[in-house]
Structure 1
């Protein structure tokens, strides 16, 4: 069975509630509605161990586990190792981007996220959705 917009589960990981809500609205605008939230990398990792998402979209700068640490942990756990991971960043810090690439990130999105850019990033990692 192919993954559709209705069945795609996209986890949003961000310590800022406003950012989580804006991301949910952007996903909603492109037809994706199965959207679990995590307020930090630690919570996201626990959720991924029990009920994995199809895609993780994570902020970089968070307490407990930052986006890179979360990416590294997800890649190290065999059941989630191939989960597409998109990192959000408010900064163009090249060192962060280079480290994310080394850890196996699938895509980057600058903040604030626009629905068209979000749809393009998701399509790049999972293909066209019906």
Structure 2
């Protein structure tokens, strides 16, 4: 059961408002090390240069979408074990199944509450301190 403050997070979303909402929720849960990227390409670049323990990525983004980012992460041994939560505006069964097939740890449907965010993260890491 890790302390939220010890987990480095990366929020990947092309909408600044969503990144801000996720950041605010993570801070409320006790996360301290939170980074942001506006698309999957930048997210992947950041993951290759800094240690990230949790990625919360939107599905629908320009350049490299969330599924592409997930596939790239799972294909690269140094980062392939990184916890990955897909953020989506729709609970599309096909999308969820494809994300599961590529190794997503959990998914979060927008809009969400901080309680649901905690639940999704704790399903991956266990109870947060």
| Interval of TM-score (by shorter of Structure 1 and Structure 2) | over 0.9
Please provide the CA RMSD for this pair: 1.1
Deviation per residue, 1:3-41 (Å, 9 max, x gap): 422121111000000000011111111111211001100
* 2:114 aligned with 1:115: yes
User: TM-score, normalising length from structure 1?
Assistant: 0.95
List runs of 5+ in structure 1 lacking aligned partners.
none
User: TM-score, normalising length from structure 2?
Assistant: 0.95
List runs of 5+ in structure 2 lacking aligned partners.
none
In 1, the alpha carbon distance for the partners of 2:92 and 2:5 equals 34
> Within 5 Å, which residues of 2 pair with 1:97-108?
97-108=96-107
> Within 5 Å, which residues of 2 pair with 1:85-104?
85-104=84-103
Q: How far 1:53 sits from its partner (Å)? A: 0.8
Contact 1:23 1:113 in 2 (8 A): no
Flag as ranges the 4+ runs of structure 1 deviating above 6 A: none
